[in-house]
Structure 1
Amino acid sequence: MSAETNKRIVKNTIFLYIRTFVSMIISLYTSRKILEALGVSDFGIQNVVGGVITMLTFLNGSMSVATQRFLSVELGRKDKSKYNRIFNMAVLIHIGLAVLVLIAAETIGLWFVNTYLNIPAGRMTAANWVYQASILSTILGILQTPYHASIISHEHMHIYAYVGLGESFGRLFLVLLLIVYPYDRLIFWGFITFFFQFLIAIIYRVYCIRQFPECKLCLKWDHSVFSSMLKFTGWNMFGTIAWLLKDQGVNILMNIFGGTVANAARGISVQVSSAVQGLTGGFQSAVNPQLTKRYAAKDTEATCRLLCESSKISYFLLFIIALPVMMEADFILKLWLVEVPPMAPLFTRIILIESLLSAMGNPMITSLMATGNIKWYQIVVGSSLLFIVPIAYIFLKIGFPIETALIVSALFILLGDVMRVIFCKKQLGLSLRFFSLKVVLPITVVTILSVILPGLIHYHLSEGWSRLILSTIVSCIIVAVLIYTIGLTTTERNFIITGIVSRIKRTFHQAD
């Protein structure tokens, strides 16, 4: 990576990390207060009604990836005219998606809510009002996709940090309003959150129009751009479906063989994993546009180099937090929950391992998406994910323990990483030897050595605050030292030292 690229990625990572950390702290508080203000029943209505809309927005997820990819490619090629054509086509496509979702929501979705959902007597009217507010919020989110993609492709992550922090504190203010609101709080919450999201959407849209001239609206249908985006979206959707079937299929298997207790344990472990990933996901969000732009500039060597560096760093950033959580999962869950499902700590450890494997593979996914040639990649890797549920079913049927389903899933994620490396070799020219020496070897050595001392502390001390604090401090120090001495190259270490020194000098200079 060039010095300029490094600085941009580090800066954007810091912005996104601060936003995520503050948002997570506020979210922990507001989630509890929302439940307190609405009550268990109304809180459940809000979630189940919102879930109906989520199922109807399936296509938008794949379309968002396509929009992000195509915009980043044109920025990498420095073709602002083509960027404008793609942006306007994306706006038109998302308007079409919004109309389709609106029709489906007001027909099939509305029928499902009023016919099949188990809504308490006397709350159906409120549920329908919340449903309408959810539709409006969803439509707004779909229409905002091209603008969000433009901000990410231009790597203006600071606006996400600033607006995100404002959004978190604004949501806190809305929760305080909800607590004192004297009338139907469920309806009030549904519409007040929509109006707040509408305000945020205006801020992002105005920012894009003022900062990026290539985001000027000129809604003209471009058949060639539409065909390219639709083809990409179609193959990407195949992979998305495979992921959904994998996740929901494993959840159903756990219900069949372990009952709702197993589902509760998996739900808790997924929440823990998501929180850990959220604290480290800023780096990947910051590096993704650079991967796409490097490929678009036809610099495959730089793309492969950045791919390897970001795969390794993504893993390390997650590992330094995941290790103490895996070590002390039992005690952490006891602190957080009143009643811990019996399998939750084990499930948490397995799902965090799967998350680490996914973190290593995410830069490869972005790089392959940048090529646009994803047909066989999605067919091969997506199809492999479809084997997880039947194989796990066979193991559970013959008497293997319930956690086998999660282990099978993690093993197939590892297999997917292997297949991604092979596809990167074929489509990007990635050297398998280089990837093994620069990514796999340091990750393996750091992981093995990092576990030894924290493992001894965990084994010899009794569970409690002292072990949690000591284990966390020791594991973080050891992982950081091993990453610096073994996991990073000389160039990467020099960059870190230079960055720290320059930051100290800037601080003292400002103080003078």
Structure 2
Amino acid sequence: MSTQTTENNKRIAKNTIILYARTLFVLAVKLYTSRLILKYLGVTDYGIYNIVASFIAMFTLLNGALTTSIQRFLTYSLGEKNEQKMRNVFSASLTILFFLSLLIVIIAETIGVWYVNCKLNIPMNRLEAANWVYQFSIITFVMEVITVPYNSILTAFENFKAFAYFDILNAILSLLLVISIRFISWDSLIFYGAGLLLIAILIRFLYSFYCHKNYDCSHFKIVRDKSLYKSLFSFSFFSFFGNMGNVIGEGGINIVINLFFGVTLNATRGISTQVSNAVGGFIRSFTTALNPQITKNYAEGNKERYTKLVFYSAKYSFLLLTLFLVPVMVNVHYILNLWLTTVPPFCEIFVQLMLLQSLIHILFNPITTIVNATGNIKQYQIGTFIILISNIFFIYVVYEAGCAAYIGIIVQCIITFIQLLFSMFVMQKVTCINAMSFFRNVVLHVFCIFAICFIFSYGCKYYLMSIDWHPLISILASIIITTTVCFFIGISKNIKEKIITLLLKKIKK
């Protein structure tokens, strides 16, 4: 193994530890924050916030496309060791995002206001509060848009320590905001929306201050390079389809649920989404640390290295997620009742199914990264858009047929697996990474491990229930079973040997 490869591996390990520590802290804070939000806002107001915020999130499809484009071009330029190109990409992207923000504000204040007031199923006595939250959400979104280039610089330079500090600060401020709800006499929903806006403004200026101080390429200048704008727009145009499918798909599902079941089920899906995102975010720390390396190695033409990183990222992120998900899925009833004051209807089955979807989704994160690195994303993004948009149609059909709410989430899981298969096909076409090898050595392997962990953990749970043991024993047993199976069947022999050697050294000390 070369010195450079060894250094890169150490950097990945260091960044992974930093991101894990960050995410573990943020996860704990956000889970507690979610409990308090539901308690202080109530199911109805929380459902209103979820549906209004998800509608604003639909406008992030344009922003998301440019985010992917900016991160790709900055990281690729760093892989080429072209600092001048990085500065041009940053300045051009900031200009584009400024005009994008203006466009989205115009759309949100016209079509968006009409839709919130005339189409959403919101109780009349809470419509004014919903409108206030909607306006706050628009400005919050603009702050997040303008932060994207600074965020992308930190990603390109793999400065994940700064990410950790900013995310921890954001989580703490959000928690303090929710705690303060009980001490104010204003409308709780309006106060919450205004508080989130102030936090977004603060985080935005901290990002820009930090980047200006540490990275020369983050200083804005007017860029007149038409070819650069064309490249950014071309990549963003096709990336737009995938992001549009994801955002409209998620927002559309919330709207369909609202039409058939009202805001109570929106609250249920909101809680389920928070659990899924929180646990998934912990594992995305691993893929986030690997993604810049995948892009840089592709820019350098190191096929063996980036192929290995794609397989490694997919397999081990899935196994790490399994360690968290199996104990949660098996003991979801106890965990939800311990966490929430009031558990919304169907929340248990929603959480289990959305966690299963997260497992499937984590497998094609590195595939998306390597396809984006090639720049040849037209087929991938358009196909992704079609697959994700189909979620709304099929879920509407099953609800119209009178099926239970959770059936829609099952449909979503099936379509996510179809998206995985499509991603593998495109990856082979644009990078020559063998899709069949990926399916056999990664997908089949990890799903067999998950099935073994899940079956044995469920069996253990029911046995412990029959002898009336405390649910915490079931959670502990599930953790032991899952860890043991993943260690002996999931990871490769050389990694097992390294882990054992490291543990022995620690014991001897």
State the TM-score bracket (shorter-chain normalisation): 0.7 to 0.9
Aligned to 2:313: 310
Aligned to 1:274: 277
Instruction: Give the one of 367, 370, 381 matched to 1:367.
Output: 370
Aligned to 2:21: 18
Determine if the alignment matches structure 1 residue 58 to structure 2 residue 84.
no
1:262 deviates by 5.7
Q: How does 1:371-450 map to 2 (within 5 A)?
A: 371-391=374-394, 403-432=406-435, 434-450=437-453
Aligned to 1:234: 237
Does the CA contact (< 8 Å) of 2:97 and 2:145 recur in 1? Answer: yes
Higher mean C-alpha deviation, range 380-389 or range 479-488:
380-389
Aligned to 2:156: 153
Higher mean C-alpha deviation, range 358-367 or range 472-481:
472-481
Aligned to 2:479: 476
Q: 1:12 to 1:186 in 2, by over 3 A?
A: same
Q: What do the CA deviations read for 1:287-333 (whole angstroms, capped 9, x no partner)?
A: 22122112121212211110000000111111111111221223323
Does the CA contact (< 8 Å) of 1:300 and 1:429 recur in 2? Answer: no
Instruction: Give the one of 302, 324, 335 matched to 2:327.
Output: 324
Q: Give, as a single letter, the amino acid of the residue that structure 2 aligns with 1:222.
A: D
What TM-score do the two structures reach when normalised by structure 2?
Answer: 0.85
Does the CA contact (< 8 Å) of 2:39 and 2:341 recur in 1? Answer: no
Aligned to 1:168: 171
Higher mean C-alpha deviation, range 404-413 or range 414-423:
404-413
Higher mean C-alpha deviation, range 29-38 or range 346-355:
29-38
2-structure distance, mates of 1:387, 1:52: 18
Instruction: Give the one of 76, 79, 84 matched to 1:76.
Output: 79
Aligned to 2:292: 289
Instruction: Give the one of 473, 486, 489 matched to 2:492.
Output: 489
What TM-score do the two structures reach when normalised by structure 1?
Answer: 0.85
Aligned to 2:90: 87
2-structure distance, mates of 1:392, 1:176: 36
Higher mean C-alpha deviation, range 314-323 or range 219-228:
219-228
Q: 1:504 to 1:174 in 2, by over 3 A?
A: farther
Aligned to 1:346: 349
Q: What do the CA deviations read for 1:373-405 (whole angstroms, capped 9, x no partner)?
A: 111112334323344444555666667665443
Q: What do the CA deviations read for 1:100-130 (whole angstroms, capped 9, x no partner)?
A: 2333345555566677786866994x77766
1:201 deviates by 2.3
Does the CA contact (< 8 Å) of 2:354 and 2:409 recur in 1? Answer: yes
* Equivalent residues, number: 505
Q: 1:444 to 1:102 in 2, by over 3 A?
A: closer
2-structure distance, mates of 1:3, 1:219: 39
2-structure distance, mates of 1:138, 1:252: 20
1-structure distance, mates of 2:272, 2:114: 34
Q: How does 1:223-262 map to 2 (within 5 A)?
A: 223-251=226-254
Q: Give, as a single letter, the amino acid of the residue that structure 1 aligns with 2:107.
A: A
TM-align CA RMSD: 3.6
Aligned to 2:302: 299
Higher mean C-alpha deviation, range 377-386 or range 129-138:
129-138
Q: Give, as a single letter, the amino acid of the residue that structure 1 aligns with 2:311.
A: C
Name structure 2 gaps, 5 residues minimum.
none
1-structure distance, mates of 2:70, 2:138: 22
1:216 deviates by 2.5
Q: Give, as a single letter, the amino acid of the residue that structure 1 aligns with 2:339.
A: W
Instruction: Give the one of 207, 212, 230 matched to 2:210.
Output: 207
Name structure 1 gaps, 5 residues minimum.
none
Q: What do the CA deviations read for 1:31-80 (whole angstroms, capped 9, x no partner)?
A: 55566767888777766665554444431122111111111111112111
Q: How does 1:5-154 map to 2 (within 5 A)?
A: 5-31=8-34, 50=53, 53-109=56-112, 124=128, 133-154=136-157
Q: Give, as a single letter, the amino acid of the residue that structure 2 aligns with 1:286.
A: A
Does the CA contact (< 8 Å) of 1:250 and 1:406 recur in 2? Answer: no
Q: Give, as a single letter, the amino acid of the residue that structure 2 aligns with 1:26.
A: V
Q: 1:277 to 1:466 in 2, by over 3 A?
A: farther
1-structure distance, mates of 2:339, 2:363: 29
1:137 deviates by 2.8
Higher mean C-alpha deviation, range 336-345 or range 75-84:
336-345
Determine if the alignment matches structure 1 residue 334 to structure 2 residue 343.
no
Higher mean C-alpha deviation, range 320-329 or range 334-343:
334-343
Q: 1:502 to 1:371 in 2, by over 3 A?
A: farther
Q: 1:186 to 1:405 in 2, by over 3 A?
A: closer
Q: 1:384 to 1:53 in 2, by over 3 A?
A: closer
Higher mean C-alpha deviation, range 79-88 or range 340-349:
340-349
Does the CA contact (< 8 Å) of 1:457 and 1:467 recur in 2? Answer: no
Q: 1:415 to 1:41 in 2, by over 3 A?
A: closer
1:87 deviates by 0.9
Does the CA contact (< 8 Å) of 1:49 and 1:127 recur in 2? Answer: yes
2-structure distance, mates of 1:68, 1:364: 16
Higher mean C-alpha deviation, range 325-334 or range 437-446:
437-446
Does the CA contact (< 8 Å) of 2:464 and 2:474 recur in 1? Answer: no
- Secondary structure of 1:466's counterpart equals coil
Does the CA contact (< 8 Å) of 2:132 and 2:190 recur in 1? Answer: yes
- Secondary structure of 2:364's counterpart equals helix
Q: Give, as a single letter, the amino acid of the residue that structure 1 aligns with 2:426.
A: F
1-structure distance, mates of 2:179, 2:469: 36
Q: 1:43 to 1:425 in 2, by over 3 A?
A: closer
- Secondary structure of 1:462's counterpart equals helix
